[in-house]
Structure 1
Amino acid sequence: MLLTEAELKRVANASRGHRAASIVLKEEMAAATARSSFDVFLSHSFKDAEIVLGVKRIFEELGFTAYVDWIEDSQLDRTKVSSATAELLRTRMRQSKTLIYVHSNNSPGSRWMPWELGFFDGFRTAVAVLPVAKNSSETFSGQEFLGLYPYIDGTGPAFLFMNRGTAPRSRIGSVSSTANLTFAKSWLKEFTATK
């Protein structure tokens, strides 16, 4: 079962409570300035900002650190392709253990996502696709090159699983229990070691 836009938006909104989005963003940026390494680099379309914030929250609840460019490096202009932006993104990808490609209906229009995927795959290869569906009855087909990578699905945002072709699904973790944080960290270690 794929995660849906509505589920991820609920997670994003629940995480900020009654605080304004601008206040939450300032808090995120202040916390991010001290980080020099990340468990997860979230490759995404900027048009999916609210969805990506929900994905970030889910991974953080599993005990991972997640890089999102417009939070950690708010000075970047994602609408323009430049060598300075590319170099900063390369640095951030080198600082990350894995790349999660957040695939939505907006992904095919992104200038940066295919480039990030190609760079990271050539550099570290610990890549997975997280397809985001409009509704829960959708299945994942994506662009043909995405079939090269395992993908993440779940029974809602609380339980995540990794799918690798015909191999059995492996559980990433559950945000419902702190005991699962150790499991999620061991999943990341195993996933990055096999790549």
Structure 2
Amino acid sequence: MSLIHSGQLRARAQQGQQFTKSAGRIKLEAALEGYGERPHDIFLSHSKLDEEEIYGLKLMLEDYGHSVYIDWIDDPHLDREEVSKETAALLRARMKSSRSLLYVTSENSVKSKWTPWELGFKDGSSGRAAVLPVATNETSTDAYDGVEYLALYPYLSEYRDSEGKKRLWINWTHTNYIRFDDWLDGEEPYQR
């Protein structure tokens, strides 16, 4: 199973048409569409400091046919720097309407005020929470060993199936895994 790496995400972001627009324009268009209010397959828990990689990840996950919630795109009016009951209530509603949460690990994610809370909330409410480790380079892409509380969660990887088709997988180990789509439908990883 291969971890997703930051270079792959930056390249995908650069292919995306929206990233060439200003961040303000993207937020305005999303707000006008009411995009944040609809249900999503994935609530992406991340650090805003990783904006380019996160945008590339959104596009990559959408390439697989999944809808993705990103707060600064779907709810641009939110002030993520402000910890308030109103912000928490809106994020809670978005997580409840999302089928899963992927916690994106990076050097910046440990600085986030919200990501640990989001991960714990989604895990407690639906159990459909996983870690999405972003490798810093292509050579470190085989396995993930979570640190501290992140080791309590399965992780997402990308790999070709037996028919050669690239797919997303949820893994506990390199021999205990399941297709991401099946996990979204409530199945659990199993030993191979």
- When normalised by structure 2's length, the TM-score is 0.82
Q: How does 1:42-191 map to 2 (within 5 A)?
A: 42-138=44-140, 139-155=143-159, 159-165=167-173, 167-172=175-180, 184=181, 186-191=182-187
- Contact 1:12 / 1:51 at 8 angstroms: preserved in 2? yes
Secondary structure of the 2:139 match is coil
Distance 2:83 2:19 in 1: 36
Unaligned runs of 5+ in 2: 161-165
Tell me what 2:4 maps to. Answer: 3
Structure 1 unaligned spans of 5+:
173-183
- Equivalent position amino acid for 1:124 in 2: S
One-letter amino acid matched to 1:149: Y
SS of residue matched to 1:161: strand
RMSD: 2.4
For residues 16-61 of structure 1, what are the alpha-carbon distances to aligned partners after superposition, in whole Å with 9 as ceiling and x for unaligned? 2784244455444444437421111000011111111111112211
Number of residue-to-residue matches in the alignment: 179
Query: d(CA) in 2 for partners of 1:82 and 1:135?
Result: 36
Q: 1:162 and 1:92, CA in 2 relative to 1: closer, same or farther beyond 3 A?
A: same
Note the C-alpha offset of 1:110: 0.9
State the identity %: 39
TM normalised by structure 1 equals 0.80
